[in-house]
Amino acid sequence: MNMIEKIIAEASGKAKVTPGETVIAKVDKVLLHDFGAYLISNVFEKESQNKVIKHPEDIVVVFDHYFSPADEKTATVVKWNEEFCKKYGINHLYHSGEGICHYILVEQGFVRPGKVIIGSDSHTTVYGNFGAFSCGCGNQSIAAMSFPYGKTWLRVPSTVKIVIDGECPPYVTPRDVINYAIAQIGDSTCIYKAIEWAGDYIENLSVEERYIFTLMSVEMGAKTGFIEPDQKMIDYVKTYYKGPIDVVYSDPDKKYDEVFHMDVSKMEPSVTFPPAVTNVKTVSEAVGIKINQASVGCCTDAHADDFRMVAKLIEGKTVHPSCRFLIIPGTRSIYNELMEDGTLAILSKAGCNIFPASCGPCQTVNMGAQAAGDVMISTAPRNFPGRTGSDKAKHFLGSPLTVTASAIKGEITDPREFIL
């Protein structure tokens, strides 16, 4: 069995599971963001016959979209969630700019190898980066099974392996690599499968640089994504969690549905065109497209080093007068770190708008909405029409370097024009 199958088997009380088998598994952590918590708690209150939450200590609620309500409707959601958590003894509640749910769960020590983590957010697949099995779940499933029984049902996924080798040229980042992987493999090959990310390129990345591969696995239709545990990951987890760690490793004879190979040595910076994450082209095909908004942040690219990369490129320059450039750190601790080392000062002097730690313009319930005719490039995970405001706006996706270069010139720009 591979790592995912072993974790599911353990959580299901079985010696072995096979792909395609349906199981009932014990859940170690349930992650809810603000509007997910609101929808699930309403289902629970209205439809559940068992009004008891079995393990409230295993539920984590993070206000990362509605953390600062922009209107009465979103303020009502926040208030409802606060009262629901108080009513049922859910004490792990993070709001008021504490940050993005997926970053918070790691920072607060809730993520550990060998665990089952489910969430109301589809990008809950990210925790396969830390040796866990994780996936998004539906509202009814969480309300009917996870709240009252601490369990979930799932079909054991088969596995696809993506092997990435080589060393990227300058200005090519993990975001460019995952963009190309999505474009090459598509969004249907991996439906309800586990994606194992492997190869010397993945191995040589920092743990934070690996985030984007397991997180974006869902954009390829996957049930989950994972990276085989190594010492680098174990050491990273230990910085946040001081207790014992039980790492699960795959058997040597693990089987795959398919194996894909990629080499990054000649890869170029990329841009995802609207209307979907599979519409990826080289940055040279996008150069010159005028923009009026740029944004670095979201769950994909909001670590401290992402913003240091931005600051290094923009220092001594300014944001183009026709463009807004939004900067949104992933957590309050990341924000503080960037404030203390002077990164935020560089960004502010360049004309960037710095926002509290949150999901930022992703789904635009607090900031960064687009009007009809607007054009934005960002590091967000998705660019579906209407997701960030008007469905008559355009939303391109790129790496922090490509987004920054574009903000400086007011048009989509190849970051290789600049010398770091």
Q: CATH number for the domain including 295?
A: 3.30.499.10
Q: Which of 261, 282, 298 is the last residue of a domain?
A: 261
Q: How many CB atoms lie within 10 A of CB 45?
A: 13
- Stretch 273-287: mean pLDDT: 97
Shared domain check, 149 and 279: no
Same domain, 358 and 318: yes
Domain boundary among 226, 261, 296: 261
Residue 117 has pLDDT above 90, yes or no: yes
Domain end residue (candidates: 231, 261, 291): 261
Whether pLDDT at 78 is above 80: yes
- The verdict on 42 and 125 lying in the same domain is yes
CA–CA separation, 32 and 124 (whole Å): 10
**Same domain, residue pair 246 and 383:** no
Confidence of residue 338 (pLDDT cuts 50, 70, 90): very high
Q: Cα separation of 300 and 283, whole Å? A: 19
Residue 397: both structure tokens together: 């996706």
Co-location of 198 and 282 in the same domain: no
pLDDT surpasses 90 at 362: no
pLDDT band at 69 (very low <50, low <70, confident <90, very high): confident
Give pLDDT, residue 271: 98
Q: Are residues 321 and 236 in the same domain?
A: no
Rounded distance between C-alpha atoms, residue 290 and residue 288, angstroms: 6
Residue 281: C-alpha distances to residues 127, 138, 144, 384, 417 (Å): 28, 33, 43, 16, 18
148 shares a domain with 52: yes
CA 8 to chain CA centroid, nearest Å: 22
User: Helix count (H) and strand count (E) of the chain?
Assistant: 14, 18
How many domains would you assign to the chain? 2
293 and 253 fall within a common domain: no
Query: What range does the domain containing 342 cover?
Result: 270-417
Q: Verify that 356 and 339 share a domain, yes or no.
A: yes
| Same domain assignment for residues 165 and 274 | no
Question: Based on the number of CB atoms within 10 Å of its own CB, is 356 exposed (0-12), middle (13-18) or buried (19 or more)?
Answer: middle
Per-residue pLDDT band for 360 (boundaries 50, 70, 90) equals confident
Please report the pLDDT score of residue 420 as a whole number.
58
| pLDDT band per the 50, 70, 90 thresholds, residue 234 | very high
Token pair for residue 215? 């997180």
Pair 224, 4: CB distance under 8 Å? yes
Per-residue CA distances from 17 to 1, 11, 145 (Å): 8, 11, 21
Residue 251, phi then psi, degrees to nearest 5: -70, 155
Alpha-carbon span 234 to 232, nearest angstrom: 6
CA distance 227 to 2: 11
Contact between 22 and 155 (Cβ < 8 Å): yes
Cα dihedral: 190, 217, 207, 397 (round 10): 130
Query: Per residue in 28-47, pLDDT tens?
Result: 999 999 999 999 999 999 99
Same domain, 328 and 214: no
Say whether both 174 and 322 belong to one domain. no
Interval 292-306 mean pLDDT? 97
